[in-house]
Structure 1
Amino acid sequence: MAEQIPYLNEWLELSAGGNFQKAQEIYFEKLFAVLIEQFKASNGDILPKGGILFSVLGYSPEPIILTAKAMEPGVHIIFTTNNKSEGSIYLEKYLEGNYEMVLLKEETFAAIYGAMKEQLMLNPSSELVLDITGGKKSMVASAAIFGKDYGCKIVYVDFREYIKDLRKPLPGSEILNIVYDPLSDQPELFIS
């Protein structure tokens, strides 16, 4: 796989050598655009185009960007407790302002669930996808409960290969995992 992705070997060498600043620069400036296209090609038909995408953001914007690029949502709302702008540069670069950020003041169940419910009321849709890849475990758990309660398709950006020493997935091994799809996982809920 490394031969097929430009700059992957350079990223691996810099990361393994501890030059994380330069590795991150290579990743977002040269490597990530190729990864997005590969992810779209292999996952673009899994999610409905348009509709609403709710994403949970911690410190890594990459999975949120990958899911958004594969889905091409009509409305994309990102929920975060992280008011730092480190990942915002890359969100803006790759999503080009096609999202709304909801800053949560706390990570409680009530805060997360309430914010998602409010955004669903403001943006009603029967095509709601919830990306739970980012965020702290408490945020993800709260978001997943919301998603189950409101019939969302719940997704997670996973990976096929992991670099243990770097504690990161191998770029290019990302896959979209459908965690829960109410139509296939609980069709009895939709029988009229």
Structure 2
Amino acid sequence: METNLKYTEEWLSLARHGNFQLAEKLYFDKLFPEIIDKFQNRFSNLFDEDEVLISILGFSPEPIILTANAVKPIKHYIITTEHKDEVINRVEEFVQDEFNLITISDTSFNTIYKSLKEILYQIESPKITIDITGGKKSMVAAAAIFGKDYRCKITYVDFDDYIKELRKPVPGSEVLNVVYDPYINQPELFLK
């Protein structure tokens, strides 16, 4: 495992020895701010200044936080089916800009698609990124279809290295994949 982040080995040792609360505290107090900086420096050039971000939230706040810090959106909407206070508190702690939290009643295609369409009516920027990293698979599928239908950039936070026994990415190995960019993947949509 290669990493150049200062607290990785200490975090890994705590986690592997079952000190999960101490490991989590170290992670969010010391390690995660470094991860955010590295991620932001690496991926912020993929986005314009007038970008709107729509994030799908599941149980892990880290991908949403990373994407939000890379995009620096003018507006940010987070869609979830249920919000756990500790997850929302983490997002609030590490995302500097305000966001609108939208809690939906179910994960059906129609509910997701309708919720995304309602957001679309509220914004003026044509530059929309949908981050499909979090949420249930049905939510992600509906969001991806919506993104394709409405010419949105679709992103996914992935990783290069994984710690199998902890079910976590190696800190600092997180990458932002642009799954679909209409300007690159279908430029013919913009010809007049």
Instruction: Give 1:8's aligned residue.
Output: 8
CA contact (8 A) 1:56 1:79 kept: yes
CA contact (8 A) 1:158 1:177 kept: yes
* 1:79 alignment partner, SS class: strand
1:16 Cα deviation after fit: 1.3
User: Deviation per CA, 1:137-175, whole angstroms, max 9, x where unpaired?
Assistant: 111001001101100000011111011111111110011
1:97 Cα deviation after fit: 5.4
User: Deviation per CA, 1:47-97, whole angstroms, max 9, x where unpaired?
Assistant: 222320000000101111111111110000000012221211111111145
CA contact (8 A) 1:60 1:134 kept: yes
Instruction: Give 1:137's aligned residue.
Output: 137
Instruction: Give 1:99's aligned residue.
Output: 99
Instruction: Give 2:37's aligned residue.
Output: 37
Tell me the distance in 2 between the aligned counterparts of 1:106 and 1:82.
9
Instruction: Give 1:55's aligned residue.
Output: 55
* 1:106 alignment partner, SS class: coil
Total equivalences in the alignment = 191
What TM-score does the superposition give when structure 1 sets the normalisation length?
A: 0.95
Query: Where in structure 2 are the equivalents of 1:1-192 lying within 5 Å?
Result: 1-2=2-3, 4-96=4-96, 98-192=98-192
Tell me the distance in 2 between the aligned counterparts of 1:83 and 1:42.
29
1:133 Cα deviation after fit: 0.5
* 66-75 or 87-96: bigger deviation: 87-96
User: Deviation per CA, 1:111-157, whole angstroms, max 9, x where unpaired?
Assistant: 11111100110113211001001111111001001101100000011
Letter in 1 for 2:141: A
CA contact (8 A) 1:59 1:134 kept: yes
- CA RMSD in angstroms, aligned pairs only: 1.1
CA contact (8 A) 1:50 1:71 kept: no
Letter in 2 for 1:163: I
* 1:98 alignment partner, SS class: coil
* 1:45 alignment partner, SS class: helix
* 96-105 or 59-68: bigger deviation: 96-105
* Unaligned segments of structure 1, at least 5 residues: none
CA contact (8 A) 2:50 2:125 kept: no
* Unaligned segments of structure 2, at least 5 residues: none
Tell me the distance in 2 between the aligned counterparts of 1:84 and 1:47.
29
* 102-111 or 79-88: bigger deviation: 79-88
* 2:34 alignment partner, SS class: helix
Tell me the distance in 2 between the aligned counterparts of 1:83 and 1:5.
30
CA contact (8 A) 1:109 1:142 kept: yes
1:181 Cα deviation after fit: 0.6
What TM-score does the superposition give when structure 2 sets the normalisation length?
A: 0.95
Tell me the distance in 2 between the aligned counterparts of 1:50 and 1:13.
42
